[in-house]
């Protein structure tokens, strides 16, 4: 199981849309993923240590080094397949490198 963390300002809208999209699309592609959605302000090093991938919506300075792959997933929110596909492909590539 690949664990992904998505975060947005409030932890209730954009991050949940990305969570749903990643779990749905990557599941269709045969990957077992679990994605959590949280408020960006709640992320700390301890929290990130429990995840394999950080799906950020915007480039954010968390104040510490992120030691897992970071993928810019904001394009998923546009709901335009041509914009989301590169995100899914990058996710697949990272998942394959982890497994």
Is the pLDDT score of 26 beyond 80? Answer: yes
The SS3 call for residue 3 is strand
Whole-angstrom CA distances from 90 to 19, 27, 45 are: 15, 15, 23
pTM for the full model? 0.93
Query: Looking at domain 2-98, does it have CATH number 3.40.50.2300?
Result: yes
> pLDDT band at residue 11, thresholds of 50, 70 and 90?
low
Residue 29 CB partners (closer than 8 Å, separation 6+):
88, 92
For the chain, the structural domain boundaries read 2-98
Quick one: average pLDDT of 21-49?
Answer: 96
At residue 65, the pLDDT reads 94
DSSP label of 35: E
Query: How do residues 65-89 score in pLDDT, each as one tens digit?
Result: 999 999 999 999 988 989 999 999 9
């Amino acid at each position: 199981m690949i664990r992904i963390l998505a975060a947005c300002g409030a932890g209730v809208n954009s991050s949940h849309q990305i969570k749903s999209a990643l779990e749905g699309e990557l599941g269709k592609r045969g990957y077992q993923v679990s994605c959590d959605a949280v408020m960006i302000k709640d992320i700390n090093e301890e929290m990130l240590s429990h995840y394999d991938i950080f799906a950020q919506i915007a480039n954010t300075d968390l104040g510490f080094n992120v030691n897992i792959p970071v993928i810019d997933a904001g394009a998923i929110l546009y709901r335009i397949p041509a914009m989301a596909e590169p995100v899914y492909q990058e996710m697949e590539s990272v998942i394959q490198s982890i497994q």
